[in-house]
Amino acid sequence: MNPPERLRLGDILIQKKLITPAQLQFALAEQLQQKQSGRRLGRVLVEQGLISEEQISEALATQFNIPFINLKHYNVNEKISRHLPEIYARRFQSVVLNKSNGKLLMGMVDPTDTSAIDKISHILEGEIELAVVTEGQMLETFDKIY
């Protein structure tokens, strides 16, 4: 049995009426034109001022069926967060938010980065549950934790 087809980020943003199909096509063309830079679609849309970083993060959470956590309103367990050394937290744009039922709740800017997830899981020697967070809020959180 094949897994259900995952919606593409652009389709989710259009469904939520956050962008128009024309804006999506423009952003995709811009992304393709600058393919060597490796910018993701969400980053292109934010840079063009078409959508906020929070809206992209919420759409990613929808796409991957994981929670979006607004770090402005979340009480990060700093003691647990420090288990992931700062160098890895910044490199992988990830922060350990909490521990519950033996699992670590990991906030990530890019939940598609499987190599980062594997490396973090190895470093922390534990099972990880993912959540999406915005890059800006994560950087502020790093400044508080480290």
* 2 belongs to a structural domain: no
Residues 90 and 140 in one domain: yes
Residue 110: CATH number of its domain? 3.30.300.160
Residues 77 and 140 in one domain: yes
Distance CA 4, CA 65 (A): 12
- Count the domains in the chain: 2
Query: Which range marks the domain in which residue 24 is found?
Result: 9-64
* 3 belongs to a structural domain: no
| pLDDT tens-digit series, residues 24-48 | 999 988 888 766 667 788 889 999 9
Residues 80 and 135 in one domain: yes
| pLDDT tens-digit series, residues 56-113 | 999 999 999 999 999 999 999 899 999 999 999 999 999 999 998 889 999 999 998 9
pTM exceeds 0.85 for this model: no
Residues 140 and 99 in one domain: yes
56: left (phi over 0), alpha (psi -120 to 50) or beta: alpha
